[in-house]
Structure 1
Amino acid sequence: MCRKGFVGLSAAVLAMLTGPGAAQVADLRQASCAQFLEMPAAERTQLALWLHGYYAGAAQRSSLDRGKLEEGAGALQQACSQNRAMPLIGIEARAALMGEPNPLAPPPSPPAAPAPQVAPASPAATAPAAPGRPTPLR
């Protein structure tokens, strides 16, 4: 009887070890903006902080500016809202988080060229020729 109790207790302990308390492993190379946006706000904040550290470490930046971190998290959320398929590990997400221009964005269109200005015609050129006189060439 004691043996059955030990087996039952062992099974219960093993079930607890593999339950929600166990660490979860996530491959963020596969994570998309859609998944990021579906997270609770607190988890989005934690993930944005982790991603900022990931990209800052890759760039060998040793300082952390809280204001820029918050701006970057907001920029990431905005970029994700515009492109839910965007991966969280990639140059677009990096640019948003680090406050850099997006290298994949199309370049801005050049400003329109101003319309050419035509000089007003002189009154003599627009006046009809006098009768019997040839019309000047224009």
Structure 2
Amino acid sequence: MKKAFGVVFLLVVIVLGFFGYQYWNSTYNGVESYAKVTQGTKHASKNNDGSPYKVNGKQYYYYDYEFTWVTKDGQKREVGYESGESANPTELQPGSYVKATVSEKRVIKGPEVVNKNAIPASVLSKLE
């Protein structure tokens, strides 16, 4: 009887480990990707209760972007990005190019503006 419980417990641990790894891999394991900046949408930041988020009496804002990222191996990923909140956030220049580390679900690191010449030709052709 104890062996049966041990085997069942081991199978549960293996299954949970497998699905846990799948979740981690798709959420936090990113690859270097490039995108062309589209027009961002400026939003007023809000508290959890829906009231305006203000610091020292100043309303905070952020920009929301919808990017089509292209990885170095040519895969396309539709992953959005929200800029940091501030009283005067800096908008990414539409038509410029950005580089970031992107997973299947989110932007992990970046984006940072890059020169068009710094983008691999195979990636650039898919961004145009």
TM-score band, normalised by the shorter chain? 0.3 to 0.5
Larger radius of gyration: 1
Looking at secondary structure, tell me which structure has more strand per residue. Answer: 2
- Flag the structure with more relative contact order, 1 or 2, with Cα contacts below 8 A and sequence separation at least 6: 2
User: TM-score with structure 2 length normalisation?
Assistant: 0.34
Structure that is richer in helix per residue: 1
